Amino acid sequence: MEFEGAVAVITGAASGIGRSTALALAKLGTDIVVADIDDARMEEVSQAIENLGRRALIVHCDVSQDASVKNLAAQTLSAFGRVDLLMNNAGVMIEGDVEKISLADWEWVLNINLLGIIRGVHAFLPIMLKSGSGYIINTSSIAGLIPDWGSPSLAVKTIPYITSKFGVLGFSESLYTYLRPKGIMVSVLCPGGVSTNFQSNIRHAADDWQQDNDIKYQVEAGAEATGNSDLGDLMEPDEVAQIIINSIKKEYFLILTHPNSRERLVERGQYLLNL
Ligand SMILES: NC(=O)c1ccc[n+]([C@@H]2O[C@H](COP(=O)([O-])OP(=O)(O)OC[C@H]3O[C@@H](n4cnc5c(N)ncnc54)[C@H](O)[C@@H]3O)[C@@H](O)[C@H]2O)c1
């Protein structure tokens, strides 16, 4: 896609991977719709985009709410009259033993991580189909491909998250098959551990929190706490953003960030067949 003069909508754009991608795209000449629930951080990102000479539109958008995502599409159209790239990126995590995680917490995770992405596609796809072009990037996780990427002990504590991210992968892959012939590209982003505010926003199933305090920093491929050098270090979000830009240029469906992701994916296939 042509970045110069394009319009990108990014959810979860106030922080971390969304923020870095917004700024990397703005540097290439793209105007950005900054969508998030964190108003203060959105202001900072918007200012940074404008300092790069591009337009930024802040839309307070809670991806767990139908009306809020519909409003995001309406405000984008009214301000820019088009959308070239939609990055469905907002995400959250709950950690704890699965029997202690309430259905309300399951709904919280699935409503943001999976339905939030579906809502984004539902609201913006008609616009893209009408123009016969567009690019959709959905943020899954390496945990959406390889559940025990971080460690088996972490995988069993993050089952709702893994479930949601597997859903994102399946949704994105079938969407790719459906939309590619219609001129719309779909990619799925599967990062390993990235140094963002994600870890500080994790919910903990009440009873587990004290006893599992020791694994609280082993989020995703949170290598530092595990001491397992195979997992690698947490990546900076700016580096992830550059990988995203390069992958858009090459139109890769699967966007992997960490060096050993590919090998682990092949091993995972073998592991699954042997279960
Ligand atoms: N950080 C990692 O290690 C890592 C690894 C793999 C995948 N991911 C995924 O990357 C995505 C971005 O996470 P990040 O690491 O940049 O974290 P982050 O916490 O820095 O950013 C996430 C942003 O999403 C926003 N958000 C949360 N709930 C929202 C909602 N209901 N509506 C709109 N916005 C909402 C937050 O306010 C925040 O600004 C997530 O989907 C996450 O699952 C992160």
The reported pLDDT for the residue numbered 213 is: 52
135: annotated active-site residue: no
Give the three-class secondary structure for 138.
Answer: strand
Reported as a pLDDT band with limits 50, 70 and 90, residue 226 is: very low
Q: Which of 1-5, 41-45, 223-227, 251-255 has the lowest mean pLDDT?
A: 223-227
The reported pLDDT for the residue numbered 217 is: 42
The pTM for the full model equals 0.94
pLDDT at 254 over 70: yes
Query: What average pLDDT score do residues 152-163 get?
Result: 96
Ligand 1 centroid vs 181 CA: distance in angstroms? 30
Domain membership flag for residue 2: no
In 3D space, the residue among 154, 138, 50, 137 whose CA is nearest the CA of residue 95 turns out to be: 154
Reported as a pLDDT band with limits 50, 70 and 90, residue 234 is: very high
Query: What average pLDDT score do residues 204-220 get?
Result: 55
Helix crossing, 16-27 with 237-250: angle to 10°? 60
Boundaries of domain holding 18? 7-274
**Contact of 203 with 95, CB cutoff 8 Å:** yes
Ligand 1 neighbourhood includes 38 CB (under 6 angstroms): yes
Q: Which of 161, 178, 252, 271 is catalytic?
A: 161
Domain membership flag for residue 1: no
Give the three-class secondary structure for 63.
Answer: coil
In 3D space, the residue among 132, 27, 12 whose CA is nearest the CA of residue 72 turns out to be: 12
CA–CA separation, 228 and 23 (whole Å): 32
Name the residue type at position 129: L
Ligand 1 neighbourhood includes 120 CB (under 6 angstroms): no
Domain membership flag for residue 36: yes
Residue 200 vs residue 231, higher pLDDT = 200
Index of the ligand 1 atom closest to the CA of residue 17:
16
**Contact of 264 with 149, CB cutoff 8 Å:** yes
Ligand 1 centroid vs 1 CA: distance in angstroms? 25
For a pocket test of ligand 1, which of 36, 145, 188 has the largest count of ligand atoms closer than 8 A to its C-beta?
36
**Class of residue 268 by CB neighbours under 10 A (exposed 0-12, middle 13-18, buried 19+):** middle
**In the chain, % of residues over pLDDT 70:** 91
CA–CA separation, 158 and 164 (whole Å): 10
Contact residues for 265 (Cβ-Cβ < 8 A; gap 6+): 145, 146, 256
In 3D space, the residue among 103, 82, 84 whose CA is nearest the CA of residue 94 turns out to be: 103
Total domains in the fold of the chain? 1
Task: Residue 23: give its domain's CATH number.
Answer: 3.40.50.720
Ligand 1 neighbourhood includes 149 CB (under 6 angstroms): no
